[in-house]
Amino acid sequence: MNSLERTLAAISHQEADRVPLFLLLSLYGAKELQMTPKEYFSEPDNVVKAQLLMRDKYSNDCIYTFFYAPIEIAAWGGEVVFSEDGPPNSGEPFIQSFDQIASLTVPKIKECVGLSKVLDATYQLKQVVGDETPIVGVVMSPYSLPVMQMGFEKYLELIYERKDEFQKLMQINEAFCVEWANAQLEAGATAICYFDPLASPNIIERETYLSTGWQVARRVLPKIKGPTATHLASGIALPVLDDIISTGTAIVGFSAADDLTDIKDSAKNRICLLGNMNAIEMRNWATNDIEREVKQILSKAGEGGGLILSDNHGEIPWQVPEEVLLGIADAVRKFGNYPLNWTE
């Protein structure tokens, strides 16, 4: 089986040749090419080269065309702050007052320099990997994007106290999200990862999510012209799993804090799980830690398909040693082959 076939089997809750491995390597490409993040992301060719290199080096079952979260903020004219060994961050929020929301307009995707680079990299990668390896594009959910657009404290005030302005911002963000997702699919992405950390009850209580972000997801996801995966970026997923399933998404990224047995029981034959290695702890894993963590996830969530092994945040940190990533790939080859007879 190739990587795409292996992944489709997992999504269909079937046992393939082995459990798919999605190492979500974005910033890590700069480390592989010995570049600063700013230099690395300045040229699509760098991302193409690194993604292909990392796919082969780490036996990765996906190509990840995610550059960095605030690339979407740059599309609105916002600031991106680069660091030497960490992901770029958004700078000063560009929405300084609630009155600005009424005059916002949706950025034109192909006129945004950063987004165009992502599309270029996606197109190039598609020409190389064809239908052999899934290409995963990324969008920030319209519901979670305002944390960068206006700052978390002001956004909470918008959610709870300024419902008219909240709905207006969602309308604009939804249009942007759909256009951006579909542009990536048109360029060659196989599926879209819908990052929505505010969907997790770690951040917003479920009652509020159901009246806000869940409604947004139900409107947006059906308009994306390809399969989607909803990722909560380390947030727990089990308390909102049924809600996420009802949006029609095919995959959910779940947390290292979610109970493996409980979430597998709840997800079985309903949605494919993506996770849940702790990428922060991964920085200090020894060989025994790697095998123990991989075996635990596979034994509790791998049977019957429906699992893609990955980290729980959506990006492997720069500080994770390459020996750990190679060790994870080795452990999957050793223990991830179906049937998982060693778990009996």
Q: What is the pLDDT of residues 234-260, one digit of tens each?
A: 999 999 999 999 999 999 999 999 999
Q: Tell whether the model's pLDDT for residue 278 goes beyond 70.
A: yes
CA dist 298 and 334 (Å) reads 11
The token pair at 312 is 């729980």
Q: What is the DSSP string of 271-297?
A: -EEEEEE-TTGGGG--HHHHHHHHHHH
- State residue 85's pLDDT score: 84
Amino acid of residue 242: D
Strand partners, 252: 230, 273
| Confidence at residue 15, expressed as pLDDT on a 0 to 100 scale | 97
The SS3 of residue 75 is helix
- Report how far Cα 294 is from the mean position of its chain's Cα atoms: 20
Instruction: Give pLDDT tens digits for 178-218.
Output: 999 999 999 999 999 999 999 999 999 999 999 999 999 99
pLDDT tens-place string over residues 45-91:
999 999 999 999 999 999 999 999 999 999 999 999 999 888 999 99
| Predicted pLDDT of residue 129 | 98
pTM above 0.85, yes or no: yes
pLDDT at 22 over 90: yes
pLDDT of amino acid 109? 95
In the chain, the amino acid numbered 157 is E
- Mean predicted confidence (pLDDT) in 23-45: 97
Contact 62, 229 (CB under 8 A): no
With cut-offs at 50, 70 and 90, classify the pLDDT of residue 344: low
| Residue-level pLDDT at 336 | 96
Question: How many other C-beta atoms lie within 10 A of the C-beta of residue 79?
Answer: 13
CATH architecture group of domain 3-343: Alpha-Beta Barrel (3.20)
Q: What is the pLDDT of residue 38?
A: 96
Rounded to 5 degrees, φ, ψ at 96 are -100, -20
Give the pairing of strands 80-81 and 89-90.
antiparallel
Average pLDDT over residues 2-18: 97
Mean pLDDT of 143-150: 98
Q: What is the DSSP string of 222-244?
A: GGSSS-EEEE-TT---GGGHHHH
**CA triple 104-247-252, angle to 5 deg:** 100
* pLDDT tens by residue, 310-338: 999 999 999 999 999 999 999 999 999 99
Q: Mean pLDDT across the chain, nearest whole number?
A: 96
pLDDT of residue 159: 97
